[in-house]
Amino acid sequence: MIPLMSEYRDKTRVDEILTAIRDISRKQVTFMEVCGGHTMAIHKSGIPSLLPSTIKLLSGPGCPVCVTSKYFIDEAAALARMDNTIITTFGDLIRVPGSLTSLSREKADGRDIRMVYSPLDALAAAKENPDKNVIFLGIGFETTAPSSAAAVLEAETLKLDNFYILSAHKVMPPAMSALIDGGVKINGYICPGHVSTITGSRIYKPLVEKYRIGCVVSGFEPLDILQTIFLLVKQCETDTPELENQYTRAVQDNGNRKALSLMNKVFERSDDWWRGLGIIPDSGLQLKKQYIKHDAHRVFEINFEKGPEEEAGCRCGDVLKGTISPPECPLFSRVCTPGNPVGACMVSSEGACAAWFRYSGEAKP
């Protein structure tokens, strides 16, 4: 294995830290991760099967696909049906159901929908197809927003007026506050590692101060996550909530200034709707006025049919709020499976329900 990976998956060190956690853990505590990458890493490595019963891990609204409105997919599908239009998207979105359709369904119907690995691939498509509208579906938190911003700026430089973004980009801290304001009972946040490489760890300081809740920025390897859990347990046991950065090899206090300045140059905050959480003030990112000609939502103002926002019985909203664990949803594994997902938390590879379904079913020895 790559040295970096094997070092952070070393069984001896894992055992040491597990012993340390067991030694100090007395209180019953719940920690929430708000990053899909953490959700997957936790379940994929089997961490829940190793923790003492005093510690419960919950997944929050950390999967960008899961928190996005179904109408975003419906709108993208409607845009795909316009003449001379190419939709470019990260692969995750292809299978996500909208309220009436999905991109995979539209693709099978002959729309030009292409999977890309970066908005810059979308930009290349715009360059190669000057007579077509090329729309990139901008989704994700602070991690992906800067690359969308860079693509818009590059489109400006190259005068690619046929390049657009349909933005569902969001920022994380307002949602972390909204959860606690909404009454979710947790004792600490496992703060998102990727988001924090961009924003810096300091963005969580106000959370610690306002709510007296521990925040530890975490890496993604098993040892990172266990060390983060150790730090949070220690804070709880000594009743000293604070901001700590476990992921110092990637995250600085002030983050990536270049990425932040790109993001701030192109996007401005707007109120945004999150599945499970409703409208959260200043939690969305929309293109600033001077870049409005690249904003697919505002340029095309397309009308589209809407079905119900949530399927009957689907409790994705409660899963995203952390008020229930996936198996507590009545549809989980009976009606809703990765093969036939009802809610977004099951369809996205980083969704809490998908992670539970895939990795956690009765796996105790």
Residues 121-160 within binding reach of other proteins (CB under 8 A)? 139-141, 143-144
| Per-residue contact string for residues 193-232; x = within reach of other proteins by CB under 8 A | -x---------------------------xx---------
Taken in order 331, 334, 337, 342, is the CA torsion positive or negative?
negative
The yes or no reply on residue 247 touching other proteins (CB under 8 A) is: no
**Structure-block tokens of residue 10:** 């070393």
The two three-digit tokens of residue 22, written as one number? 């067991």
Interaction residues for other proteins, span 311-350 (CB under 8 A): 337-339, 349-350
| 309/288 Cα distance (integer angstroms) | 28
Q: Which is nearer to other proteins, 111 or 208 (CB)?
A: 111
Q: Should residue 109 be labelled a site residue for other proteins when binding is judged by CB under 8 A?
A: yes
104 binds other proteins (CB under 8 A): yes
| Amino acid identity at 21 | I
Question: Least separation, in Å, of the C-beta of 147 and other proteins?
Answer: 9
- Tell me which residues in 286-305 interact with other proteins (CB under 8 A): none
Residue 178 and residue 322 in contact, taking contact as beta carbons nearer than 8 Å:
no
- 2-61 residues in contact with other proteins (CB under 8 A) are 2, 5, 9, 11, 14-15, 36-37, 40, 43-50
Residue 7 CB, nearest approach to other proteins (Å): 12
Least distance from other proteins to the Cβ atom of residue 90, Å: 5
How far apart (Å, rounded) are the C-alpha atoms in residues 354 and 164?
A: 31
> Minimal distance in Å, beta carbon 319 to other proteins?
18
Contacts of 95 (CB under 8 A, 6+ apart): 102, 103, 104, 341, 347
CB 32 within 8 A of CB 4: no
From 53-61, 102-110, 268-276, 299-307, span contacting other proteins (CB under 8 A): 102-110
DSSP conformation class of 267: E
Q: Express the helix, strand and coil content of the chain in percent, nearest 5 each.
A: 45, 20, 35
- Rule CB under 8 A: is residue 249 a binding residue for other proteins? no
Using CA atoms of 137, 142, 144, 147 in order, give the dihedral in degrees to the nearest 10: 100
Encoded tokens for 229: 């859990």
Distance CA 259, CA 54 (A): 39
Smallest gap, in angstroms, from Cβ of residue 286 to other proteins?
A: 19
Angle CA 336–337–342, to nearest 5 = 40
> Which residue, 228 or 235, has its beta carbon nearer to other proteins?
228
Q: How far is the CB of 258 from other proteins (least distance, A)?
A: 17
Binding residues for other proteins, how many (CB under 8 A)? 54
**Does 64 engage in binding with other proteins (CB under 8 A)?**
yes
- HSE (CB half, 13 Å, CA atoms) of 343? 30
Which residues are near other proteins by CB under 8 A?
Answer: 1-2, 5, 9, 11, 14-15, 36-37, 40, 43-50, 64-65, 90-92, 94-95, 104-105, 107-109, 115, 117, 139-141, 143-144, 194, 222-223, 337-339, 349-350, 357-365
